Every structure is written in C-alpha cells, then in structure tokens.
Chain A
Amino acid sequence: MNRSYSLAAELARVVTGGEASAVKLDTLASLINGPSPDAAAPEPTPVLKDNEPPDQYDRIGIWSLKQQEGMDLYVRDTRFAADWRLWANQHVIFPKKGKRVVLLGESVARGYFYDPFFNPAIELRSRLQAVEGFTDFEVVDLAKSGLTLEELSRLSESCLRLDPDLIIIFAGNNWAYSLYDSPVFSEYEIQSLTNALHSLDLMQVKEKLDDKLAELVKNYMATMASFSARHGIPVLFIIPEYNLDSWKSTPLEKIVAGLPEDNTDKWIAAGKRAKRYLQSGRLPDAQKESEQMIALDPTNPLGYEYLAECHLRNEKYEEARHLLESARDTSIVKRLTNHTPRCFSSCRRTILEQSKLYGFHVVDLPAVFKDHLGGKIPGRDLFLDYCHLNHEGIKLAMDAAFDVLLPLFDGKKTDVKSSSARELSTDLVALAHLLAATLNSRFGQPREILNYHCMQAVKISRISARFMTLFSSLACRKASTALCKSYGQILAEGLADQYNKGTGLLHAENAKTLDYELIHAMIAALQTVGIDIHGQIEVLLNREHGVKNAPVNLLESFYHMFSIQKVAGASSCYYKAYDITSEFLFFMERNVPVYADITWRIPATENGGKARLLLNDAPIDEMDVGNKWQTKKVLFPSAGLIKGANRLLIKWPAGSRVPRKKAEDRNGLSAAGSLDRSIGSLYHTFGEIHTLMISAVQE
C-alpha cells in the first residue's frame, strides 16, 4: 500500500513536470499497476446513457414513424422541436404514391436566405411537375442547415425507408469540420502532423489534412454505394461551388504564420507592396510580390488573392480561378476553429473520382457555372455569401440537376409542357440580399459588397427601407438582440423568417457586433430613396456607446472586428493582435479630451518594441512596449477627436518572434489538445492588450 502511494506521488510529479513521453508514461504506469494488471482489473461497468435516441430506424432526421389509419407516416417529432428550424418546413411525410426523389444536403440545399418560401426542392418539384407524365413525381426535402458528414451518413441510410427512386446529395461544404470535431486522427497521425507543424512545413500539413478529408469522403461514398447497390437506387451528387469572386478571406483567415527566419517580416512587406502596386495599377510588380507571398507562406490565402486580382485585371480567368481556389483551400490548415463552410478541391476531386467508380451521377456546379458564365469567375451574380446561392444560382443548379434526372426516368426535354420559370416576389429577393448583407458584415466583408446588397434590395422593394431602419436601430444597441424591441418587430413583421426563422440574426452571448460599416451602407442606400436616418443613428450610437461618465471598454465585442472567429487552441481573456494593425472604434458626443488606459505587451520578443498610435489617421504617439505587461495612460487631446465615431489604430512592430519550444507544446496534453495547441502556436501575436479603456477627462 505504502509503495503504491509513493509510486503514485512519483508518477504525479513526472506528469506535472510535463517532460515525459507517452512511452515513458506507459512504463511507469505498468510499474504502478503491478505484475498482472489484467487479472486484477474488474470489468468496467457499462453505463447507459439516457439522452441518446433509442435507435436510428424509426426516424429520419426530425421525422419519426407514426402508424395512422394503416399508413406509415413520418411526423415531425416534438422531441427535436429545437431543430425544426434547420429542416424543411414540412410536418408530415406521407407514404409514396408515384415516383420519389429524396434530396439530402446542407444549408445550400436548404435554400439559405430564401427557405421556406423558396428553395432547391421547390424549384426542382416545379420543374418536374411541368413534364408530361411526371405529375406524380415528388421531391422529399431532407436538407438540413449545418448538416455534418456524420449526420449525412446516418441520413443516407435512414432515408432508404422512404423508398426513393433517386437520392440527390447536395453537400460537401461542411465535411472538413469532421477533421476538427471528431477524433478521426490516430495518435500516430497526430504525431506526424505535430511534427510537420513544428518543422513549419505548412504544405505538408495541408497535404496531410487534404488526404484525411479525401479518406473521410471516400469512406462515406463507399457506404453510400453499398446502400445504392443493395436497393438499386441511383444516386446524384451535386458538388457545391464557392463564391470565388466576391467573398474575401476574413481578417482572421489571412493572419500570418510565424515563419522561419525573418520570413514573416518579408511576407508582411511583400503584402504591403503588392497592395500598393495593385492600387496604382503596376500589375507586373504586384504579381512579383504576390508570388513571393505565396512562396513564403503557401497556406495563407492573401498571396493567392492578390495574384488572382492581377490575372483578373488581365482577363486571364483560368489562372485567376485556379488561384482563388487555392486561396479558398488554404483554410483546411486549421487556422480557425470555425472557418466559413466551403467545398475544398480535395473534396470535389474525391467526389468526382468515386462517383465514376460507383456509377453515381454528378452535377459539378463549378463546371456548370463556368460554362454558364463563359469561363468567368462566379461571384455575386450567383452567390449571396461564401457558399449560399442566390435565386439565380439555385435555378441554375436545379436546371442542371433536372437535365440529369429527366433521362433517368425516360423523360425528354420535348415533354416539358411549360416554362417553369417561377417569379419570386421582390420582397423575398430584397430581404435575401439584406439578410445576406448582415452575414457578410459579421465576417468582415468589404464595404463595397455591403453596399451592393443594400442597393440591390432598396432598388426592388419598399420593404428594404423598413428592414434597414429596424436593423440599424437593433445593431446600435448594447442589449442582446433577443431582448431588443426592434428585433421583436423584425420577427413580428416576418422580415427574417427566411433566415433560419429569424434566429440567424442572433449573436452568441457577449459577442454582439456593432456592424458599423453595414449601418453606414444602409444609411447610404436609404438616402437614395429619400430616407435619412443618419441623425437618428448618430444619437443612438452616442447614447449607447458614447464615452460619457463611465469608461468604455474597447475590448468588448462591439468595438473591434475579432469576435466572430477564433484561432485554434488560443482562448484567452485578453486581446491578441494577429495582424500588425489593431483597429478600434469609440464614440464621442462632444469633443472633449479623453484618456486611454492601456495594459499591453509584445510577447515572445527579447525586449518588446515600439507601437504607434493613430487617432483618426493622425499619428499621436510612439511608445515603447515591453515583452511583459505594462500599463500606460495616454491623453488624447480634443483637437484630434471628432464628434461621433473615432478610429483608434495601434500599429505593432513587425519583427521576428522567439519560437516556442516543442516540449512546451505537449506539456501533459492529450493528443487532440496538443494538435490544437500546435496549430495555435503557428500564429504570431504582434501585440496583446489586457486593458483598453477610454474615459472622458473630468472637467
């Protein structure tokens, strides 16, 4: 007994120190467990978990089997009421009468921003019903917003109970999340990934992750193939396309990695020059710089985006497309715990290959759109955000699906009785633009795209003015969205029904954003139809956010653009600057002088460095910041301040960082934890802020 105490104490010391390898721990563990651990070990008692649904076979998604008047009905189950808003707004799935197509898919297939009023299933249904002899065709819509690969696998099996004549799978955007959420990696794979991360071989990391994704897709497709073969049901894959032209990588998606030697500095400098050359139209120079950026960090999207811009200006669409795809594909290297959904090239490639192998039909939207656009890059003409299609895009996709589907059931193009072109209401289309604008704003998309959506909306429907007025008021307020009167009005007037039943506008707790750019895009759009809410908004912003009696904490989610996404393995209660510039907003009712109380540091440096403060673009101070926290009080005289919004920039020094030791990263962590941590430690923080408070100087 005493020996076991002292062994346990010794083992605890080793584990706490964190210097032991798994092998060493195993050796110590076997010592403490005694000579024949197996003989002594009691059988572990299995624990029943109550909250798990009893089985897969009496339900399909949120619909559970109910016998009624001798019929097998699938009825929406109130146990899953919380999830209803993510699925088709259909209460009962009746037994099959004629032919049946089942649609599985993600939010793209759901018709995000239009559903339940319009969506791919509705479009396909109306196409089919316009065909001679196809009137008894039905489309069962089993698409779910946010469907994961695991959920899709389950659904692919359970949907067989609906006796489909064709299964359409319109998905692929969410599949890479399986790389993060579930324990898909073996200890060995994690070790080799961690090693690649530590040697900063970023391309190798990317390849390993792409391979793993391909493996997951292959596994899924093999399962699907076995269902398909066993039941003789044909399968049609619709491969999603990405908004290559009009969706920009978010601020956190393009943060720079801590590269070897002084490559980080070189990358930053090349980026600055590339941007300048693009602005002044010196394309060959811009091209050279962006190529250097790609060479320095092939897993950062920015170099590809700049280079694509060069090619686009020269109308070299094929080159540009390839580069924009590469930019999109970089996010597989787990920069962010929640990157925006996308179908990676490795995913598309695997679907195409495996479909050939198993004889699945395919609608490859990248090819379909390319064809439709005469080789140009798809953008805002077909998309509302990163991957969600606008109504034109949905129609085009369903056109293509229809063309594949028709001959499968011996239909001919000549059988189509009437044009199925349904006119959507202008209110529906306008609101889709505006709701999409709120999402674009949340992910830091440029002002220009926000303007575009607001202007499109305001041009076609008067309802836009109502939404924009309410939304601007909502966005200005500190109160949680759910509690705001203006949000209640938006819901009551049905203005956000087509955005996950209004829940799309909600924010995570303590993460409400101010949407300052979007508010101004809305103000400008409203001005074009003779409505002026500028003064009103100004008053509201001051009342809610103005620097008055109490200090304003600029690290709250309202005042900076870093709240929506998080870098892997990097949770902290203070602000980390992943870019060389940090930007904050604060609001003044009158221009009286204010103080800024700042506690900051520049970590992982020998001696810190110099940070420059700019207020409304005018330099106000250059200050030494150490590598340990320091607290400073800075006076902003009234001359530099303006009534209304003031912009505070902190420019951090570039310069290389002391790399973290490999051992520090493992330090007693489980495998998955250590992978997260290694990825997190790839990224530089240029500066860190613990406190940033603005308070008015008491007169």
Chain B
Amino acid sequence: MGLNIIGISAFYHDSACCILRDGVLIAAAQEERFSRIKADASLPCQAFLYCLKQSGLAITDIDLIAYYEDPEKKASRQIWSRIPEVSSSFLLQLDPGRPEREIREVLGYEGPIRFVEHHMSHAASSFFFSGFDTSAILTVDGVGEWATTTYGAGNGNAIHLFEEVHFPHSLGLLYSTITSFLGFGVNDGEYKVMGLAPYGKPLYVKQLMDLLQPEAEGQYKLNMGYFDFLSGERMFSDALPGLLGHPARRPDSIIAPFHKDLSKSLQVVLEEMLLEKARYLHRRTGEKNLCMAGGVALNCVANGRILRDGPFEKLFVQPASNDAGGAIGAAMAIHAVEGRALQQKKQLDHVYFGPEFAADEIEQLLKSTSLQYHNYRGSRDLMLSMVAGKLAEGLVIGWFQGRMEFGPRSLGARSILADPRNATMRDRINAMVKKREGFRPFAPAVLEDKVAEHFQLDHPSPFMLETCQVSSTIDLPAITHVDGSARVQTVNEHTNLPFALLIREFEKLTGCPILLNTSFNVKGEPIVCSPEDALKCFIKTDIDCLVMDEFVIIRSENSLHALKLILENYDIEKEKRAGIRHDVYTFV
C-alpha cells in the first residue's frame, strides 16, 4: 500500500498545496496561480484539486494531510504579542481552529490531519530534498510560531532541531523593518533592498549593530526600542529615524544615496550575522553540508557569501524557501515520522511541479480567439530556430512550456526571455511588464555546460539562488549588476529540454549561451499559470511574441488594441479582493 500525503501551507502569505506519493513529490503549486490573487493566503482549494488531478487520485486515496505549522502555538505567540490589549474580540479573530475546520469543510477531507511546526516544515523542505545523508540545518525567517531561527541537524530519516531564537528577535523582521523604512512593501520588497545594496556603501553598519546584537551560541537580540511591529500597525518606532539621522522614505519617492547606503549596510549586517551563526552551527554539528530554508534563505547574495566564506563545503537551499515551501516540508516531515523510507535519494534538480497543458487544449483556446498564430506542432526544431532568431533580433518573448514552476522564481517554464547582450532590454522589459525600479538587473539563464566560461561559478545553480561574478568576454549589460555580479540559473537538457534547446539555438546564432530570464507576469499579478493567463498577460503588455508549447503568436501580426480594451474591462469586472497588507508584517 502506498502512502499519499497532502501538504498544506495557508492563512499567512502565499498558500500552497502539494502531494507526496510514497515520499515522491508528484505535484506542488501555490494557490495564487489559480485564484490570480497575488500572495493569496486562503486555503489552497484549487491547488488541492490540481494535486489530486495531477496524481490521478481521489480524496478517498489521501492517507494524511500535513499542515505546515501549529495553530495553537502560533496563537499563543499572537496573544502574548498583544498583551496588555488582549480582548475577547481579538481572541475570536485569531481563530486558530480555522485550518482544521476549513480542511474538513472546504476541502471535505475526513482523514487524519497532522500539524508540523513551522520551522520543522522549513527544515524538512530543505534537508529531505538536499540529497545529503547528513547535514547541518539552518532556518531563518520572520516568524513561525515562536521560532524565528532554528539550528539543527539531519541524518537519514531524522531531523533534530536543537536550538531556536524566539520571537520578537528575528533577522527576517529586522530585514522587513528596514525594507519598510526604505519605502518598500513588507513581504514583497525585500528583494529590492537586496538589489539596491550594491549601489551603496556600508556607512550605517554601526547604527544597525545598535538594532541587532549577537549573543552567545545561536542567539541574537533585537533592540525593541527601535521596532514597533508588535503593535501590528507599523514596523519601526520613532526612534529609528533618529538613530539613522534620516526620515523614512515615502514609497515612490526618489532613491537617494542614503537609501542605497542603508541597503548595503543591512546586507552587510545580515551576512555577518549569518556567517557567525553558520560557523556556530558548524562547530556544533561538525557537518560539512548545510541545508537552508525560510524567507531569509532567499537572500541569494548572503547564500553565496555563506558558501564562499563560511565553514561548509556544500550548501543546499530549498528553492521554495518562503512559506509556500512549508507545504512540501510538512508533507515530507510527516512521511519521515511515519517511518517510511525516503525515496528522494538525490538532490532536487528541478521545480516543475505545477500544471501543464496539452497542445490540443492550447490549440482549442487559440481557435476560439481572433488571434493569428503559427502552428509548429511536430516541428519543434523549426519553432526553436525561429524563436531564437526573434530573440537575436531583440524581441521580448513570453515563454510558456510544460509544467509550471513551484516557488517564487520563473525558471524557464513561465518566463519572459530576451537577449542579455542588449543594453536597452532592461528598460524595455521594465517599461512593458515589470514597471519596477530600474536599478535591479534581470537574471541570466545559462547552459550548464557553459557556465564556467561566463561566470565565476564551478557548480550548477538550477534555482537562481546564488549570485556570482560575471566573467564572460561577452558584454552582458542587461543581466550584470553594478558590482559585476549576476543571479545565475543553469539550464540543462535533462530538466528542461525545450528551454535548453532554445538557448543552444540562440548560441548557434549568436555565440552567446545565455538568455535574460524574468518571471512571466504583469506587476502586481501572480506569475501566469494557464494558457489563458499567458494570453491575457501577452495582450495586456507589449511582449513581442508569445510561445506556448509549439504555437507562436507574434504581436506585429495581430492587432491587439481591441482585445486589450476588452481585457481592461474584464479586469474591472473581477471582484475587488482584499490583498495582503504590505505596510506591516501581518502576524495573523
């Protein structure tokens, strides 16, 4: 008898669902991709139905549901944070019974439910996919139940977390607080701060060390006089602007040298603290491998530094290190607890766990529209050389192939692609879809067997989780950061055949085995999931060409103005949905 486990993370940020069959991850997806509500935190209904469909199972086949945190323990932290203003209406709002109630009523699930602690979920999501027999484990995020950082070790089927840092002391919350101070959204703009850092000088390290003090062993403390996130209304107190000698930046105002310097200082402080604690963890465990997860593990600059300057020989970072990844961690942890053998012997080498769509389905959709399209079914080579040609001509391509990625990054299944040699590409793509701050470069996707020729990287980096220096003889202005670094994704034929073939085709044409790769979405919307989503995104933006499976739609061959107007109406027609607050870290 097989063991089928559903993993769920929900009710905080970016909910997700996955299914394990006998310890093998079959499917995983975030609810936002289906509901089209960015960072949708509600119970992942549609992702759940997708997991059943993808695995060919009915709800009666599910043996267990694993939930990624302990609601009661989390509630105790939420209550504690509220002292002395705890009221009965606040208590009712907390509703810690909700995960179980909704799993029963909304999903209709009748079987056993297991709760896995938040940081155990993160730890399991990393260790059980690392392929390491034994490893040290470090998880760092804003907060789970009480823990904000944990230290542990994994050995075969077992994970032991031996030390944790307690809320409110949190590296994640420190990072989010400065993010908020810099005028970016909490749980949303942390990337921007990381991207801004290379432009600045570490002039505020001393002041930031006032906010964060290292303590013995794995511990550290925040100086709570500068923080106000316990209020639930804002992140920092009035003392912070005083300390830094500058007021907080208003969103959308200009970015001054101070903001860049503060970003750099924060990055330095974070890296130093992580390095120190990684050394501690190494001393405690004596392991040569390190597994990381939790929101802070998405700081790829810090990851690179930990690997280069830290004591560990090998590092594995869970690509879905955010709370969405908690779903797969919780499921894996329960699988291990059930005493079943772990099947995941080798390291996770791809994240294509989302839905895919048959060529027939895509063709049927295209036939219903007024669009002119090219049908390359059965002649993929032709299609690839045509698309590579378009890329070389400077066109921006919407690329939709196979199963969708799980986790926050687009890795060549739902991507926007362009020529990285073209200096104008950064501005063009920003103007057409991203509408984001121009200071951040895009990421390169490079053929795995060519990576060493162009980047200072001696191992595969399939998940864009590390940065390294660009060493290419080709000028790559669209993907090179101001400090000469890049956030690299390596691509091979084994995990994403069409993408690898396309890059090879592009190399044949241009000598450059690298493409600019960014996520396929409009600002403020989730990454596209279905062919309809891709089509709508293509129509609403100025992407030059859309490639879905082996169908190609070229903007210049279509007149899309009327359709664009229709879709704008369509957007109006959508219900206004309550989003996640980005002005403060939402603890509930």
Contact = CB atoms under 8 A, between A and B. Distances in A.
B460 interface: no
Contact of B96 (A15, A42, A45, A690): A15
A597 B573 CA distance: 35
Nearest to A501: B569
A41 B231 CA distance: 10
A550 B368 contact: no
A483 B369 contact: yes
Nearest to B583: A47
Contacts of B525: none
Nearest to B146: A5
A574 B80 contact: no
Contact of A597 (B58, B96, B574): B58
Interface string A633-654: 0000000000000000000000
Contacts of B87: 26, 29
Contact of B85 (A41, A550, A574): A41
A16 interface: yes
A628 B93 contact: no
B567 A482 contact: yes
Nearest to B565: A491
B233 interface: yes
B233 A12 contact: no
Contact of B46 (A18, A32, A573): A573
B60 A599 contact: yes
A477 interface: yes
A516 interface: no
A670 B79 contact: no
A15 B95 CA distance: 7
A25 B85 contact: no
Contacts of B78: 12
A670 B562 contact: no
Contacts of B46: 573
A691 B59 contact: yes
Nearest to B536: A483
Interface stretch (A379-387, A408-416, A502-510): A502-510
Contact of B574 (A485, A509, A571): A509
B91 interface: yes
B511 interface: no
Interface string A433-451: 0000000000000000000
A45 B73 contact: no
A571 B42 CA distance: 12
Interface string A43-64: 0110100000000000000000
B86 A11 contact: yes
A405 to B, nearest CB: 35
Contact of B532 (A480, A508, A599, A691): A480
Interface in B542-588: 562-563, 566-567, 569-570, 572-575, 583
B572 A82 contact: yes
Nearest to B567: A482
B364 to A, nearest CB: 7
A629 B71 CA distance: 27
B160 interface: no
B59 A628 contact: no
A503 B572 contact: yes
Contacts of B358: 550
Contacts, number: 189
A17 B369 CA distance: 53
Contacts of A34: 83-84
A482 B97 contact: no
A392 interface: no
B562 A491 contact: yes
A669 B95 contact: yes
Contacts of B341: none
A424 interface: no
A531 interface: no
B573 A691 contact: no
A658 interface: no
B336 to A, nearest CB: 26
Q: Which of under 10, 10 to 19, 20 to 34, or 35 or more describes the interface residues of B?
A: 35 or more
A630 B58 CA distance: 9
Contacts of B72: 12-13, 16
Nearest to A48: B583
Nearest to B100: A16
B75 A478 contact: no
Contacts of A669: 92, 95
Interface stretch (B105-113, B201-209, B293-301, B381-389): B105-113
Contact of B105 (A23, A501, A572): A572
Contacts of B105: 572
Contacts of B574: 508-509
Given A9-B76, A11-B79, A33-B86, A482 B92 contact: no
A32 B96 contact: no
Nearest to A1: B80
B75 A488 contact: no
A22 B75 contact: no
Contacts of B88: 22-23, 25-26, 29
Given A41-B84, A508-B575, A573-B49, A12 B93 contact: no
Nearest to A38: B84
A489 to B, nearest CB: 8
Contacts of A573: 45-46, 48-49, 106-108
- Tell me which of A8, A9, A13, A15 has the highest count of chain B C-beta atoms within 10 A of its own C-beta: A15
A480 B570 CA distance: 10
A670 B60 contact: no
Nearest to B81: A8
Contacts of A549: 360
A479 B73 contact: no
Contacts of A44: 231, 233
Contact of A5 (B75, B80, B569): B80
B92 A630 contact: no
Given A33-B86, A34-B83, A45-B231, A572 B92 contact: no
B79 A8 contact: yes
Interface in B343-382: 358, 360, 364-365, 368-370
B280 to A, nearest CB: 25
A12 B75 contact: yes
A349 B532 CA distance: 49
Contacts of A492: 562
Contacts of B221: none
B89 A479 contact: no
A8 B370 contact: no
Contacts of B390: none
B573 A506 contact: yes
A631 interface: yes
Given A11-B79, A573-B108, A668-B95, 10 more contacts: A16-B75, A45-B234, A477-B368, A479-B532, A483-B535, A488-B563, A599-B60, A629-B60, A669-B95, A670-B92
Instruction: State the 8 A-B residue pairs at the shortest beta-carbon distance, nearest first.
Output: A12-B76, A25-B88, A12-B75, A8-B80, A573-B45, A485-B370, A33-B84, A482-B570
8 contacts: A8-B83, A11-B76, A25-B92, A40-B84, A573-B106, A599-B58, A669-B92, A670-B93
